[in-house]
Amino acid sequence: MTDAGHPRDALLDLVYGELPADQALGVQRHVDGCAECAATVAGYRAVRSAAAGLRVDAPGAGLDSLLHDAGQAARRARRRRVLRWAGPVAAGAAAVLVVAIGMRPPAPARLGPLADSRPAERAGAKEAPEAEGGAGALLASAETKTAPAPSVAPAAPAPAKTSLRPSAKDAAREESVRNRTDRGPAAVAGAARPAPVSSELQPLDKRAAAEAAGRDLDAPARQDALVARKAAAPLAAAQARAEPAAASPVAGAAPAMTRSDDAVSGAVLGGNRTSPSRDGGVVATRPSDEARRAQLYAQLAGAKGAPALPLLAELCALEARLGHRADATRVCGQVVHDAPGTPEAAAAQRQLDLLAAP
């Protein structure tokens, strides 16, 4: 506030050191050239000087009982802290369990004899829809009620055939997709379209003719897939089953659906967004924020010391994004407290500032 050219509020700020240095310099210059403001400032400083005697020592009475109460409160806070982490950890563990159960492929589809898949192969033109339906059903089973279940049952023989299709070519295509994924979702969508050289993309009538002639077009691919399956985790096998369906002519128009483990677990927990994975994974459908949140809590339960910081920092941003104000404040506050001076702490402080903003 200024009064007839005298910065009255600024004089107050100047005397109490609440002005930024550059502004303080300007106000001080004014004071040096203005007798009225100089007298005001001198008066304020005189009062400040005299006010030094207003300080008193606090009485000692009651301090012991206060510190005793504080000690008990601190113990309670520690217990609460443990319990607070236990909930999300249990939820995370449950989510992992659900994913593990949900993603275990039906036994006949994965391990059934090759002969089981033959009828589906001989189904000719119906093969692709069935394959798509099979993979779709599999994904739907993973998505647990987030979408209507396809008409084809997950345990039908058709998926068994498609599950055996992924081959070295598929791996190469996946690699290509992975590379393109890094450039953005649009490139990924393009990559998901079938490559004309892929054997499984031969015209179906040609395949039917070959099969009628007794040739097993899928034998090499099956071998590759078996090798790959031995090396891969069960979730990766499910991913491999899903991939050919997405690449089939019928599914060509659909978005690529290859999934990472996280993505699948995210789908199980209700996440449906598709975006490139940060770690260079194939077209990864990222887990929903809620699923990622559960994962972070689960990971934090196992993290000790420094490795927890990136997890906490991510959780801080995530909780803020989800609008979990109290949790965001708690987690971001912990980041600021645990790692002062780090970029993570700076980012967490920014989140806290945003949370504090009205």
Partner 1 sequence: MHRFRVGDGAAFPALVERHRARVFAFVLRLTQDRGRAEDVLQETWLRVVRGAAGWQPTARFTTWVYTIARNLCLDSLRRDQHRAADPLPGDPPDAGSAWSDPERGARAAELRPLLESAVAALPPEQREVFLLREVAGVPFKEIARVTGAPEPTVKSRMRYALEALRAHLGRAGVDSESPGRTAS
Site membership for partner 1, residue 265 (CB under 8 A)? no
CA 146 to chain centre: 19
What are 19's two structure tokens?
């002005």
Give the list of residues 6+ apart from residue 338 with CB closer than 8 angstroms, or none.
Answer: 308, 309, 312, 345
Q: What angle do CA 196, 198, 204 make, to 5 degrees?
A: 85
What are 190's two structure tokens?
């393009």
Contact 276, 188 (CB under 8 A): yes
What are 5's two structure tokens?
């050219």
232/225 Cα distance (integer angstroms): 10
Site membership for partner 1, residue 86 (CB under 8 A)? no
Residue 55 main-chain phi, psi, to 5 deg: -75, 145
Site membership for partner 1, residue 4 (CB under 8 A)? no
Supply the minimum distance, in Å, between the C-beta of residue 13 and partner 1. Answer: 7
203/353 Cα distance (integer angstroms): 60
How many residues form the binding site for partner 1 (CB under 8 A)?
Answer: 52
Task: By CB under 8 A, name the one of 26, 29, 69, 122 that touches partner 1.
Answer: 69
Contact 298, 272 (CB under 8 A): no
Site membership for partner 1, residue 329 (CB under 8 A)? yes
Supply the minimum distance, in Å, between the C-beta of residue 326 and partner 1. Answer: 8
Site membership for partner 1, residue 145 (CB under 8 A)? no
Site membership for partner 1, residue 321 (CB under 8 A)? no
Site membership for partner 1, residue 36 (CB under 8 A)? no
Task: By CB under 8 A, name the one of 61, 107, 253, 306 that touches partner 1.
Answer: 61
Supply the minimum distance, in Å, between the C-beta of residue 14 and partner 1. Answer: 12
Supply the minimum distance, in Å, between the C-beta of residue 32 and partner 1. Answer: 16
Specify the residue, 6 or 169, whose C-beta has the smaller distance to partner 1: 6
Site membership for partner 1, residue 346 (CB under 8 A)? no
Site membership for partner 1, residue 77 (CB under 8 A)? yes
Site membership for partner 1, residue 47 (CB under 8 A)? yes
**Other beta carbons less than 10 A from residue 170's beta carbon:** 23
Site membership for partner 1, residue 51 (CB under 8 A)? yes
Terminal Cα distance for the chain, rounded = 24
Site membership for partner 1, residue 49 (CB under 8 A)? yes
> Helix, strand or coil for residue 7?
strand
Dump strand ranges (E) for the chain: 2-3, 6-7
Site membership for partner 1, residue 334 (CB under 8 A)? yes
Task: By CB under 8 A, name the one of 2, 36, 75, 210 that touches partner 1.
Answer: 75
Specify the residue, 64 or 279, whose C-beta has the smaller distance to partner 1: 64
| Interacting span for partner 1 (CB under 8 A) from 151-159, 193-201, 302-310, 329-337 | 329-337
Task: By CB under 8 A, name the one of 25, 26, 80, 346 that touches partner 1.
Answer: 80
For residue 53, give the DSSP letter.
Answer: G
* Residue 323: burial class (beta carbons within 10 Å; 0-12, 13-18, 19+): exposed
**Exposure letters 132-164 (e unless 16+ CB within 10 A, then b):** bbbbbbbbbbbbeeeeeebebebbbbbbbbbbb
What's the longest Cα–Cα distance across the chain?
Answer: 110
Task: By CB under 8 A, name the one of 25, 26, 78, 94 that touches partner 1.
Answer: 78
7 bridge partner residues: 2
| Interacting span for partner 1 (CB under 8 A) from 56-64, 161-169, 218-226, 289-297 | 56-64
Task: By CB under 8 A, name the one of 5, 20, 33, 53 that touches partner 1.
Answer: 53
Supply the minimum distance, in Å, between the C-beta of residue 8 and partner 1. Answer: 6
Site membership for partner 1, residue 52 (CB under 8 A)? yes
Specify the residue, 8 or 321, whose C-beta has the smaller distance to partner 1: 8
Per CB under 8 A, residues contacting partner 1 are 1, 8-9, 12-13, 16, 18, 39, 42-59, 61-63, 66-67, 69-71, 73-78, 80-81, 329, 332-334, 336-337, 352-353, 355-356
